Amino acid sequence: MKYVSDFKWKKGIKVHEMVEYLGEVGFQSIELKKASDVIVKMKKNSAKIFLTFTSNMVTSGLRGFFAQLIELGIADVIVTTVGGIEEDIMKATGEKFAIGNFDSDDVELHEQGVNRVGNLFINNESYMNFEDRVMPMLDKLYKEQKRWAVSEMLRKIGLMLKDKNSILYQAAKNDVPIFCPAITDGSFGFHLYLFQQKHPDFIVDVVKDFGNILYTTSHDEKKGVIALGGSISKHHAILCTLLHGGAEYAIYMTTAHKTSGSMSGATTDEAKSWGKVKDDSDVATVIGDVTIMFPLAMIKALEQLSKEGLLK
């Protein structure tokens, strides 16, 4: 049996050391360390790793970290929401998001043409610039072919970007598919609609892409899920694992709670009742802000994987 240990600062403490010590402090700190350990197990046992996240995490500075993880070979399949796609393109083409605060005057922000995501600000101008940049991309796609599965379209767009901190670029470069089942749920979806009004034979095939994600893995392959936040991105990945016998490894990080009955709050244990996660799987559910919890857990895992030569 393990016992609670007092956490103390020491000069020069490293992130991976701190997370290790937190594993004996209590409450969510124990789950945080467990999550880091499960990430290592996924990679060491050659699991197909599904990394899912919601768009607000791309709004934040985690966007570059996700791109780096793809480059390092951590993620094999990405599932996200359309806001994450459009904001990755925005940042890759020069847009910058400002740091504000949670208690801003939102009526005043609206009058100034500023959109608030928590304590981050996005100018309306960024969306106008996005339209100017994405329409030529759609023109290129249309000239190449008229019908696109979503992940195939996103791969082509990724190859058009030249930003090493771009999720789309790194995914395309490293042959990691990105799935976005709700591709119309945002600005990008609106521009797809407008483009289709001019070109009625331009089709974005969401159903075909469901087949594509199913073919990314199999019953025989070990599967791991790192779900950051909830929403359709989380469910799309674990539905895929369900249809292939369940995942052997799963990490959920969220601010939602299980008492809501929501997908965002559903724990890794609840997933076992559906068969999305195997009964004997290695799992961890961390309740907390992903912008804090995920870098801590992942950096500790990266240090260990790097030491063992398991990174690209």
Using CA atoms, how far apart are residues 180 and 50, in angstroms rounded to an integer? 13
Phi and psi, residue 49, nearest 5°: -100, 120
User: 15-92+146-307 is classed in which CATH architecture?
Assistant: 3-Layer(aba) Sandwich (3.40)
**10 is annotated as an active-site residue:** no
Both ends of the chain: CA-CA distance in Å?
Answer: 37
| Domain residue limits, the chain | 15-92+146-307
Whether 234 and 59 have beta carbons less than 8 Å apart is answered as no
And the tokens for 244?
């292939």
Whether 236 and 177 have beta carbons less than 8 Å apart is answered as no
Using CA atoms, how far apart are residues 74 and 53, in angstroms rounded to an integer? 14
* The residue to which tokens 């249809």 are assigned: 243
From the first residue on, what is the mean pLDDT of each consecutive set of 10 residues in the chain (312 residues)?
95 97 97 98 98 98 98 98 98 97 97 97 97 97 98 98 97 98 97 98 98 97 97 96 97 93 90 93 96 98 97 92
pLDDT at 41: 98
Whether 177 and 73 have beta carbons less than 8 Å apart is answered as no
Task: Return the sign of the alpha-carbon dihedral for residues 16, 31, 235, 260.
Answer: negative
In the set 43, 91, 234, 276, the catalytic residue is 276
Whether 219 and 244 have beta carbons less than 8 Å apart is answered as yes
pLDDT at 178: 98
pLDDT at 53: 98
Supply the pTM of this predicted model: 0.97
pLDDT at 260: 87
